[in-house]
Amino acid sequence: MEETYLLNVEGVRKKILHGGQGELPKFQDGSKITFHFQTLKDDFERTVIDDSREAGIPMEIIVGKMFKLEIWETLLSSMRTGEVAEFWCDAIHTGMYALVSRGMRRIAEGRDPLEGQKHRCGMGNMFDYHSTGYDDLDELQRTPQPLIFIMELFRVEEPSAYKRDTWAMSKEEKLAAVPVLHSEGNRLVLRKEFAQAAAKYQEAVICLRNLQAKEKPWEDGWLKLESLVTPLVLNYCQCQLELGEYYEVLEHTTELLQKHN
């Protein structure tokens, strides 16, 4: 279709390249959107910056979880399943693109997207942002500019239709997931599947640690969560002991002894 559709958002234009099917999906909080995208410069050559098809893996975002490039959620929520659309976005919406692209590129390269930001002071992290490690993205950081996004929407899954990663869960969902993961770990231990059991215990600990991060250390809420963490860590250590990971066992049990004399 040649006609350009204006979204009800300042600095955004939309052109449908291929119509989708059915009604507009329900983009409720927690829904998972799966799509391919291509990012182009708004220049004569329409220079390609990124193309998710080259990586071979579709992009996924969770609605309502504050993806760094907020405009993408707005663009995708205007699309039907199977639709391909081109969006022109003014620079007011694209300022974070370089940092988002850096993370996606590092994941595609099999690298840690937070590489260089760990164990660094605030000033160190700030300095790290002066260079993304990619010349074309550094240019975008220095001179924010309009970008063109071509997106193909594959599917929109309701929160109950897929297994969500820990970071995408609400507080209530994390608390509900912990006893389930604990039981699954225990079941796997009885079957002597220690590596799989350790993964379940670890996932439960991550849920609780995420919740603890929002509590004040050593106050009632924090201590209550800590009491749930301790048996899970011990179970995890028992699995690692069976797997011969002795140094990891020593590290975790020493930390527990230091906290609980």
pLDDT by residue for the chain (261 residues), tens only, comes to 456 777 888 999 999 999 888 889 888 887 889 999 999 999 999 999 999 988 778 888 888 765 778 899 999 999 999 999 999 999 999 988 988 888 888 777 665 444 544 433 433 333 444 677 888 899 888 888 999 999 999 988 887 655 556 655 667 777 888 888 899 999 999 999 999 999 999 888 888 888 888 888 888 888 888 899 999 999 999 999 999 989 889 988 998 888 877
CATH domain 171-260 topology: 1.25.40
Sign, CA dihedral 81-153-65-110, equals positive
pLDDT score recorded for residue 89:
94
> What pLDDT shows up at residue 130?
61
Res 35: pLDDT: 93
Domains 4-157 and 171-260 share a fold: no
The pTM is what? 0.60
**pLDDT value, residue 167:** 57
Determine the Cα–Cα distance for residues 125 and 140; give it in Å rounded to an integer. 19
Triad 91, 97, 102: Cα angle to 5°: 155
Report d(CA 187, CA 177) in Å as an integer.
15
Domain ranges for the chain: 4-157, 171-260
Residue 3 DSSP label:
P
- Dihedral of CA 256/258/260/261: which sign? positive
pLDDT recorded at residue 122: 37
Query: Strand, helix or coil at 252?
Result: helix
Give residue for tokens 């006893």: 179
> 4-157 has which CATH code?
3.10.50.40
Cα–Cα dist 212/219, whole Å: 10
Residue with tokens 């990012």: 39
**What single DSSP character describes residue 45?**
T
Displacement of CA 244 from its chain's centroid (Å) = 32
